[in-house]
Amino acid sequence: MNIIILAAGPPKHNRDRHLELFNNKPLIDSLIEECSIENTNLFIVIHKNNSKLINHVLNYNKNINILKVEDEYVKSTLITALSVYGDSICLCGDLINIKKSDILKFINTKYSSCLCRYKIPWGNNIVNNNLIRRSDIGNCIIRISEKDKTTYLSDELWSKAKQYFKLFYPTKEIEFKTWNTMITHLNYAYFYEIWGNPNVNDFGDKGSIYFEKIIYADND
């Protein structure tokens, strides 16, 4: 099992989001600690130009596997993250409430691929063009099995993601470098039977992992 921390945002002039302190510790250090689980492989996806974060991670532990992404596009980040062989759990690298027990839910699940289901929704359901995107479903953590990667990374699913975005937001331009734009609608397309139906929490070997705490809180 692979655990993959997605910290691929490019360096910014005014802040180092993954290095900001929480409980007197850089956020990325806390994530590394909570994601270091026996019998798993830990990877961190980092933008190739973010030398400050790369050096910090290497100084923290030179044996950590860093996957360098070449550009700022969401699709490149996902392809890089899922290039490692095996079932993979991907989580956003700025989550502030992550504990080992949260990751273990995704490791020990019966589902092949899954995403999050929240007791406390992130907002109101998004409704447009006879579609619904549930606000108690989210993708701050997802699991994609090895057998599902080809479908998940396919051009067909990417096209569906773009179509769903335009159906929900007909007047907006798609921003392919914006995480919440494309990753959300890619996962909406992949988990459509769940995310698009308030009465369904699993479908075949896909499912949702339930959280009572606000797991999606992040350093954004």
The model's pLDDT over 87-114, given as tens digits with 9 standing for 90+, comes to 999 999 999 999 999 999 999 999 999 9
Q: Is the pTM of this model over 0.85?
A: yes
pLDDT surpasses 70 at 2: yes
- Report the candidate in 16, 13, 36, 37 with the shortest Cα–Cα distance to residue 26: 16
Residue 218 DSSP one-character state: B
C-alpha–C-alpha distance, residues 35 and 33, integer Å: 6
- The percent helix, strand, coil of the chain (3-state, each to 5) is 35, 25, 40
pLDDT of residue 179: 65
Rounded to 5°, the CA angle 162-168-169 comes to 85
**Burial class of residue 214 in the structure, from the number of CB atoms within 10 Å of its CB (0-12 exposed, 13-18 middle, 19+ buried):** middle
CA 175 to chain centre: 17
- Residues 6+ away with beta carbon under 8 Å from 44: 4, 5, 7, 28, 32, 57, 64, 65, 66, 67, 93
Please tell me the least confidently modeled range out of 16-20, 41-45, 169-173, 191-195: 16-20
pLDDT surpasses 80 at 45: yes
Confidence of residue 118 (pLDDT cuts 50, 70, 90): very high
**64-74: burial string, b at 16+ Cβ within 10 Å, e else:** eeebebeebeb
Please tell me the least confidently modeled range out of 119-128, 156-165, 170-179, 196-205: 170-179
Look up the CATH superfamily of 2-211. Spore Coat Polysaccharide Biosynthesis Protein SpsA; Chain A (3.90.550.10)
Query: What are the E-state strand segments in 129-171?
Result: 131-133, 137-144
